[in-house]
């Protein structure tokens, strides 16, 4: 779909079928759809990497609190755009893992918590340590997910509201990446949501997480 739009708008401009005042709008559509396509390709590449049996996994000691802090810095502009406040609670908690994977999982959860929030809403990320687990939860005050959809959102390409997802630039792959990432870490993944009130997604990593 993004490529069809890109090609269509470019063709109109090429054949002088766009008035000068239409050109910025058409260029905007080309830009927006190109960004969507780029996001989709990046997500598909990440999923293919997760599917592939990687032999050269590099395990490091990763501080998940630090990872969440970095992720919030990256998403600061997006949160401002959506009028959403970001909050980080907890303490430094370290596990042995592949750094890129941990970053990816936390990023996707925070990105969704912002995208599917309401104006003036909030996202709270908590990183805490329990006996033999490190718990990362991402809570939002957004639109929520109905009970019937709660399992389905982890399926590849599944989106609850296709028009909303298209508007916010979704591909339907973010939570599949989270699910794969959780399996990869032997982490438990749980979702708690109430439509209209918000969603909390929690990951429980074993302290000695190994790929």
Interaction pattern, residues 149-188, with ligand ADP; x per rule: CB under 6 A: ----x----xxxx---x----xxxxxxx------------
116-145 positions binding ligand ADP, by CB under 6 A = 116, 140, 142-145
Nearer to ligand ADP, 132 or 194 (CB): 194
**Closer residue to ligand ADP, CB minimum distance, 13 or 47:** 47
104 makes contact with ligand ADP (CB under 6 A)? no
Please, what's the largest Cα pairwise distance for the chain? 67
Residue nearer to ligand ADP on the CB measure, 63 or 112: 112
Which residue's CB is nearer to ligand ADP, number 71 or number 95?
A: 71
Nearest approach, Cβ of residue 142 and ligand ADP (Å): 5
Kindly provide the b/e burial profile for residues 1-30, where b requires at least 16 CB atoms within 10 angstroms of the residue's own CB. Answer: ebeebbeebeeeeeeeebeeeeeeebeebb
Q: Is 145 helix (H, G, I), strand (E, B) or coil?
A: coil
Q: Residues for the chain: how many in total?
A: 211
Distance separating alpha carbons of residues 136 and 121, to the nearest angstrom: 20
Counting residues that bind ligand ADP (by CB under 6 A) gives 22
């969603």: which residue's tokens?
199
Please give the C-alpha separations between residue 2 and each of 9, 10, 34, 71, in angstroms, as whole numbers.
11, 12, 7, 27
Cβ closest to ligand ADP, residue 163 vs residue 208: 163
- Residues at the site binding ligand ADP, with contacts judged by CB under 6 A: 112-113, 116, 140, 142-145, 153, 158-161, 165, 170-176, 199
């Amino acid at each position: 779909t993004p490529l069809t739009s890109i090609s269509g708008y470019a063709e109109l401009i090429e054949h002088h079928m766009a008035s000068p005042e239409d050109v910025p709008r058409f260029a905007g559509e080309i830009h927006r759809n190109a960004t969507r396509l780029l996001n989709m390709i990046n997500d598909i590449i990440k999923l293919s990497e997760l599917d592939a049996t990687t032999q050269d996994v590099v395990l490091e000691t990763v501080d998940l609190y630090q990872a969440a802090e970095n992720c919030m810095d990256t998403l600061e502009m997006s949160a401002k755009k959506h009028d959403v406040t970001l909050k980080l609670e907890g303490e430094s908690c370290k596990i042995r893992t592949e750094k890129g994977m941990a970053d990816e999982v936390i990023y996707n959860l925070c990105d969704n918590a912002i995208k599917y929030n309401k104006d003036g809403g909030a996202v709270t990320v908590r990183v805490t340590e329990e006996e033999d687990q490190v718990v990362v939860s991402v809570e939002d005050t957004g639109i929520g997910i109905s009970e019937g959809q709660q399992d389905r959102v982890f399926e590849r390409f599944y989106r609850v509201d296709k028009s909303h997802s298209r508007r916010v630039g979704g591909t339907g792959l973010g939570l599949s990446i989270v699910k794969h990432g959780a399996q990869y870490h032997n982490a438990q993944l749980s979702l708690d949501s109430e439509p209209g009130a918000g969603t909390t997604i929690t990951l429980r990593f074993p302290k000695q997480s190994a790929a």
